[in-house]
Structure 1
């Protein structure tokens, strides 16, 4: 006898916090939704529950307007009738960092716990693809079920169901497995998250509705538990839902229709799941589709947002959080850390960080990024000064300038540091302020050497930067304005400190002429247009491209850095090449070359070039937009009128540097186009590697057979790497997340994409998405032998954005020693991602992941700790494994967290 089928109807509203309207415009409807919900919950005991879209920030947004209803809300959350979390917000998975994904879960589940909610679901209703390590993260958070709408066929876009025999999964239920073997039950919204929306109460309409909906769901359901999601984007509450369910039960006596919740549905589902469920491994990226609606090109929409996000994430993860381990008042640090993370995560929803909203949304995002960056920098500066104020900085030479270098990246460093230093200050209360600048201009500029804490000496380059205004804010008095004579110092800094500090001195010195010449190193050779250091030779060509020879292997990489421009008649979601398929490149152009820096530690060369490109798409595009012609079917060509785009590329090579740093400034004067930079490696391979969330993912260069889209673009976090049997090239970036592998042998990195509409379901013009004016891009080119894993080149790529924090102080006595290191660790292949205080401030959290398919040994030694525990990503203790030092095994692809008690 067949089991009676159950139709679980779950009320929800997918709440894009900002999208086709700004946050405040959407907030009005959010408040109305909550008001209706609270009224319904109070009056209708048959109304089971309402799912608040897997995020807790909806509650915060409501209570900002109606704070008097907080206790009422908490009551229904505790009762399980309002379901929040586990996330703080529904963030994009691929465009936010590994640690940002964890903080989102950490702070979201902190709120669910405070509000008394039990049980959580890994909820990704509209995430634009999901990283492969998600099951491992969820399992560590004690979540064993994930629900999602994209990434696995048969799901398509806008509720398209592809009727093909070649599904990723034949069912809407599946096993989803991470590279390490962690697995969760996956629930695919095969008929989208609106398949039970606006259910009719009237019998005739209800019969027509349910006949179709039941048939659609039964095509993919593996059990008799059928899922219907009663809601959609910003959907108001269906107030008559319980009456509509009553009608359905009367119409279909063989099916039990019930107002349900995910916990109830999942409990019933697990009892019936068949043993032959398909297992999906790794990333969910919609590969078995036509490729037009994977939304991957949101990675290049409004790149300026991604760059700001990268700066802020790096600042919080690699500076502010580790610095908290050295602070005496960790409560202040924890409160500020949570404040800045939550403010930053307001920019992480998929329609926000993806750059696929209306202009007003992204203007507000810029303001949030600025708040996070400026606030965090100020907090870091002040707290670093407090720590530095306790360090002994007395030197026998009273003219020596002390400073403290805070190393917070979690790994040893070797790089050229630059810092502006005040060699003399005159405060306004010392003399008439208008006389100070001229007096300081007469101040002689000495030469310096760097004296480190072990008394070793490092040569320093010095550059005068003039007289600057500044001010100090004493703890016990009014601000003190001053003028200062400043210099920029640069030097090669090598340190084995993971997290800690070192006191150094800039000591004035007299350098003999012959001594200066014998110790200098000229990295730039003007006659041969070459940059050279210990590891590589860069030859610059007349068209502005450059070739690189890896001196360690002898491998050569030719014609790097050619710029390619194509028309783009797509939208913020998707790239679509213009109908003429026209490409313009700098290959046949002429560039000018200028030396802007050349000393013993660093050389920088400026290359100026330009492209004459069509000023925009032709008039056909406007008509296609207005009539809602979907981007795959557009045919608009590029305009006959041309405009010049000027590029300024700065190549920087540092002493002992393992990569070439490249900064590109683009003065964009054109619309409707895409700009990429090309990196051929010669003979290529059939696959490549990309940095993803806690993973170096291996991806094929060519798509699945179902793919129709001529482009095959991908996401990356920090870098992409392509190799053949003998050599490889890795390109690391700051906030550039889109690339494509061309002809199996060339990395094409997107620097700019300019479009004029949001796209999706209507006519939404976005003129600011054309990104007119000055745009910038930063990346590093890293040559290596073979692939990125065997060469360990990924360590260089991860270190690219990291920089020690350098604080100038005054000479004074102090109780702290001149150096401090909190811990040391070893593990050749492991990648460290977090060093931070625990959530309660009573310990230290350190996290690594293993990017390889082999077991790695991790050894950690702390300077002072009571106990060392294995931990989850939510900082929950597992077993104790040591006291001051431990040796443990990290399994292939494992994410491992240690919790170290002070």
Structure 2
């Protein structure tokens, strides 16, 4: 029998920001790195240090100690400092599929600059992991993952439960994605601190190792025992070589060694038993009591999730496609700026950051970062659309003089009709053309001509055109000083013809008497109707949604419920037996706010009275560090009124109902949800996750005792009975629950709490989210389930606005209407079209959400060579000059490379 080996791996799990703000944590990071470099230089027995799997720690250190770069690089090349493969340790469920890929690709590319990186999928403290992680890792050449959560219960202060509720009898297991890809999974069964602060005195060492050896042997499937010598923000253990030497003297039948993951994994793989337990798909603590899953970080500080989803969509779904189209037509791809924007965004993606479970100062800085990304994104969108429109032939139909071209670009990858709302400069006068004090009055006094919108064929498009006043503006030309001006503006609304996937169409604002508008969307004051849906609003603000295609009607949906939340940023908890407050039956003020041929809107206003906060007894519980599971506290008897303004909007060709909620939150310690009863009889539901529309049970495992069974979603969740379905897409609302006999979808629109909630008492008053709040979602009824009905196309249509650009009349090599890339989705889900990170090739990525093989067809307009690639953009297999009807296996992620696409 092989000798027992204790592999001691030094590390410090570095939450970049958490219970201290970033700069205070960085202060200790610099101290740690200084101490590490000194130790490595002076003690050859201190073998190596695992730098937490993320390269950003190096960036943070070098900003303070740039002179240490060469020394750090030397130790990385010698494998004494182990880095990568990630850029940051990112939350898995609250960041997009593509954000997870960019994190890996950028991290690996950054690591390569230093010469070495760890080929370990490192998820030490990730709050659950998406089911496609093994497939992602395998495509990146990584065959092992290490993680601390998702399989075995962990509780308060990350205490590991000794429970039978353990999906694998070993800390080593086979972790498999839905497509069949698998990696060796290593669970930190005794947490990633089980070898922390190893004693170097004999008396203490005996007690330490007696317990630690027993704990590790209990779950190890091989003679190789893993000891993680570190913890959160752990300083360096400088006497570790002495402690290891002592352990070897005390236990001659065990080899204690200062090891690395590379060494440990190699020896474990050579000693594995013939059969390991297989864990399939998501790691979400399914077989636990449900009290410490940390799932409610999905609803902590929802404003952060909303800002993040907006930023991700701009980078993935707008800028990258637009920049790709411009690159295909001879323009430079903004790779450096895009990478910089991605890195700025990903600095908000660590689990304690995007999860909203840090102190207020951390999240204040996150808001600033999001705003910076937003600024960069808007300028990049503006630049790329200007480059593209300059190449398009915008010559107007001959009969229209003074036409103003409006080019609408569709970056979704799916055909779509869309409603455009655009403020147009009707006339612009520069300060150089007229004394500026006279310009405003001159433009204001001009009467508005008769205007309408026509398409490129000269056919009139029903439009609503309103005067929008005179506003100051300025141009920033490339070749001269800034050019201030005033412009007379109009607001134009119209519905496009069907736009091709990855295509565009040109419309013109022209001087012409408009034709009589066709039927308006809103009828009878409480009804919205188009060819697909009929929405009727009741007196209490609930509404029926009739799917005119299937004939199925959802009845009395859209009420709100409010309960207490005496938990924390990590976990929701309401008082036992408490009944929710509801708007159902509460008289609402209902009025039509918009009604034309393109769009109808109805506003619903509730005066919703709820308790102003939890009872003051909650404060005593927090002071005593009573875990959320064991708390009981009433709601205050004092009441406050939330004025809930709900706007229902139905566009002309929409297959879903857009809903926007706005209110001033004046209450604390509560959770507000919108409720959609469906009546569907089903035991499961679907939700979007990373490269997956995942199937989840409506009821938890038998071990679950938490009254709540909340889940993560990326941008939609869906219920179906096989005949009919309801999918609700959201913008940054990432928590939902299936309730009421498994037939009702409840989506959290606000959660307000007062403390961080981990190892001490950290008040977080800003987590109460007081003040003005908004939430947006999209109600999509359909036949069948979300996959067979392709409801995800409508969900993404809601997420991604078409881009409308005003330009001038000019010639161009691109046609007036056109398409940049053609493809047939055939039930595949598009996630990315972009240029390579390190090559000039284009990459096109899709995944198959179903259990059936699908076919992929792509056609680039130019002569290119197609090849099979992977998530890290390697060239695997040349295909040739045509890519037609190639199979995509069940649940597979496919990346197609295009060589010579420029």
SS class of match (1:812): coil
SS class of match (1:877): coil
Which residue number in structure 1 is paired with residue 38 of structure 2? 39
Query: For 2:292 and 2:717, how far apart are their aligned partners in 1?
Result: 23
Deviations 1:295-330 (A, max 9, x none): 000000000000000000000001111111133576
Which residue number in structure 2 is paired with residue 668 of structure 1? 665
Which residue number in structure 1 is paired with residue 137 of structure 2? 138
SS class of match (2:252): coil
Kept after mapping to 1: 8 A contact 2:544/2:555: yes
Query: For 1:648 and 1:399, how far apart are their aligned partners in 2?
Result: 41
Instruction: Name whichever of 430-439 and 829-838 sits farther off.
Output: 430-439
Kept after mapping to 1: 8 A contact 2:93/2:713: yes
Deviation at 1:435, TM superposition (A): 2.2
SS class of match (2:19): coil
1:268 aligns with 2:267: yes
Query: For 2:734 and 2:681, how far apart are their aligned partners in 1?
Result: 21
Q: 1:551 to 1:190 in 2, by over 3 A?
A: same
Which residue number in structure 2 is paired with residue 211 of structure 1? 210
SS class of match (1:411): coil
Which residue number in structure 2 is paired with residue 792 of structure 1? 790
SS class of match (1:789): coil
Kept after mapping to 2: 8 A contact 1:729/1:784: yes
Deviation at 1:438, TM superposition (A): 2.2
Choose the corresponding residue for 1:510, options 510, 513, 516: 513
Kept after mapping to 2: 8 A contact 1:864/1:884: no
Query: For 2:393 and 2:546, how far apart are their aligned partners in 1?
Result: 46
Gaps of 5+ in 2: none
Deviation at 1:820, TM superposition (A): 4.2
Query: For 2:884 and 2:641, how far apart are their aligned partners in 1?
Result: 60
Choose the corresponding residue for 1:627, options 624, 637, 658: 624
Deviation at 1:332, TM superposition (A): 5.5
Aligned counterparts, 1:106-117, within 5 A = 106-117=105-116
Instruction: Name whichever of 537-546 and 433-442 sits farther off.
Output: 433-442
Query: For 1:115 and 1:869, how far apart are their aligned partners in 2?
Result: 29
Kept after mapping to 1: 8 A contact 2:609/2:640: yes
Aligned-residue CA RMSD (Å):
1.5
Deviation at 1:811, TM superposition (A): 2.3
Query: For 1:813 and 1:829, how far apart are their aligned partners in 2?
Result: 38
Q: 1:137 to 1:157 in 2, by over 3 A?
A: farther
Kept after mapping to 2: 8 A contact 1:19/1:352: yes
Which residue number in structure 1 is paired with residue 895 of structure 2? 897
Deviations 1:576-607 (A, max 9, x none): 00356131110121111121110111101111
Deviation at 1:500, TM superposition (A): 4.3
Query: For 1:435 and 1:282, how far apart are their aligned partners in 2?
Result: 67
The two structures have a TM-score, normalised by structure 1, of 0.97
Kept after mapping to 2: 8 A contact 1:567/1:582: no
Deviations 1:98-117 (A, max 9, x none): 00000000100001112111
Query: For 1:463 and 1:17, how far apart are their aligned partners in 2?
Result: 49
Query: For 1:118 and 1:62, how far apart are their aligned partners in 2?
Result: 18
Query: For 1:861 and 1:501, how far apart are their aligned partners in 2?
Result: 17
Query: For 2:595 and 2:363, how far apart are their aligned partners in 1?
Result: 40
Which residue number in structure 1 is paired with residue 710 of structure 2? 713
Query: For 1:789 and 1:497, how far apart are their aligned partners in 2?
Result: 21
Aligned length: 895
Kept after mapping to 1: 8 A contact 2:715/2:729: yes
1:536 aligns with 2:537: no
Query: For 1:25 and 1:593, how far apart are their aligned partners in 2?
Result: 51
Deviations 1:79-128 (A, max 9, x none): 11111111100010000000000000010000111211154100000000
Aligned counterparts, 1:184-263, within 5 A = 184-263=183-262
Q: 1:815 to 1:534 in 2, by over 3 A?
A: closer
Deviation at 1:48, TM superposition (A): 1.4
Aligned counterparts, 1:57-76, within 5 A = 57-76=56-75
Kept after mapping to 1: 8 A contact 2:499/2:505: no
1:849 aligns with 2:852: no
Which residue number in structure 2 is paired with residue 828 of structure 1? 826
Q: 1:447 to 1:207 in 2, by over 3 A?
A: farther
Query: For 2:736 and 2:541, how far apart are their aligned partners in 1?
Result: 21
Query: For 1:458 and 1:352, how far apart are their aligned partners in 2?
Result: 46
Which residue number in structure 1 is paired with residue 174 of structure 2? 175
Which residue number in structure 2 is paired with residue 347 of structure 1? 348
Choose the corresponding residue for 2:695, options 671, 693, 698: 698
Deviation at 1:336, TM superposition (A): 0.7
Which residue number in structure 2 is paired with residue 617 of structure 1? 614
Which residue number in structure 2 is paired with residue 393 of structure 1? 394
Which residue number in structure 1 is paired with residue 481 of structure 2? 478
Kept after mapping to 1: 8 A contact 2:418/2:802: no
Deviations 1:126-176 (A, max 9, x none): 000000000000000000000000000265564534334442000000000
Which residue number in structure 2 is paired with residue 90 of structure 1? 89
Query: For 2:156 and 2:150, how far apart are their aligned partners in 1?
Result: 10
Query: For 1:319 and 1:800, how far apart are their aligned partners in 2?
Result: 13
The two structures have a TM-score, normalised by structure 2, of 0.97
Kept after mapping to 1: 8 A contact 2:676/2:745: yes
Query: For 2:632 and 2:346, how far apart are their aligned partners in 1?
Result: 38
Kept after mapping to 1: 8 A contact 2:607/2:644: yes
Query: For 1:210 and 1:413, how far apart are their aligned partners in 2?
Result: 64
Query: For 1:12 and 1:807, how far apart are their aligned partners in 2?
Result: 51
Query: For 2:458 and 2:268, how far apart are their aligned partners in 1?
Result: 68
Kept after mapping to 1: 8 A contact 2:420/2:804: no
Deviations 1:485-516 (A, max 9, x none): 111111112344332443332222113xxx41
Aligned counterparts, 1:245-324, within 5 A = 245-324=244-323
Q: 1:435 to 1:415 in 2, by over 3 A?
A: same
Query: For 1:170 and 1:657, how far apart are their aligned partners in 2?
Result: 51
SS class of match (2:496): strand
Deviation at 1:439, TM superposition (A): 1.9
Choose the corresponding residue for 2:440, options 437, 459, 476: 437
SS class of match (1:779): strand
Q: 1:799 to 1:676 in 2, by over 3 A?
A: same
Query: For 1:404 and 1:725, how far apart are their aligned partners in 2?
Result: 40
Which residue number in structure 2 is paired with residue 6 of structure 1? 5
Which residue number in structure 1 is paired with residue 464 of structure 2? 461
Kept after mapping to 2: 8 A contact 1:150/1:156: no
Kept after mapping to 1: 8 A contact 2:409/2:505: yes
Query: For 2:655 and 2:599, how far apart are their aligned partners in 1?
Result: 13
Kept after mapping to 2: 8 A contact 1:312/1:369: yes
Query: For 1:165 and 1:706, how far apart are their aligned partners in 2?
Result: 10
1:406 aligns with 2:371: no
Query: For 2:332 and 2:189, how far apart are their aligned partners in 1?
Result: 46
Query: For 1:591 and 1:266, how far apart are their aligned partners in 2?
Result: 62
Choose the corresponding residue for 2:520, options 499, 516, 522: 522
Q: 1:154 to 1:644 in 2, by over 3 A?
A: closer
Query: For 1:502 and 1:72, how far apart are their aligned partners in 2?
Result: 56
Query: For 1:161 and 1:349, how far apart are their aligned partners in 2?
Result: 22
Kept after mapping to 1: 8 A contact 2:410/2:499: no
Which residue number in structure 1 is paired with residue 602 of structure 2? 605
Which residue number in structure 1 is paired with residue 651 of structure 2? 654
Query: For 1:100 and 1:33, how far apart are their aligned partners in 2?
Result: 29
SS class of match (1:219): helix
Choose the corresponding residue for 1:492, options 474, 492, 495: 495
Query: For 2:381 and 2:839, how far apart are their aligned partners in 1?
Result: 17
Kept after mapping to 2: 8 A contact 1:645/1:667: yes
Query: For 1:386 and 1:116, how far apart are their aligned partners in 2?
Result: 38
SS class of match (1:388): helix
Choose the corresponding residue for 1:424, options 422, 427, 445: 427
Query: For 1:318 and 1:805, how far apart are their aligned partners in 2?
Result: 11
Deviations 1:200-244 (A, max 9, x none): 000110111011000001000000000000000000110111111
Q: 1:337 to 1:773 in 2, by over 3 A?
A: same
SS class of match (2:130): coil
Which residue number in structure 1 is paired with residue 24 of structure 2? 25
Deviation at 1:463, TM superposition (A): 1.9
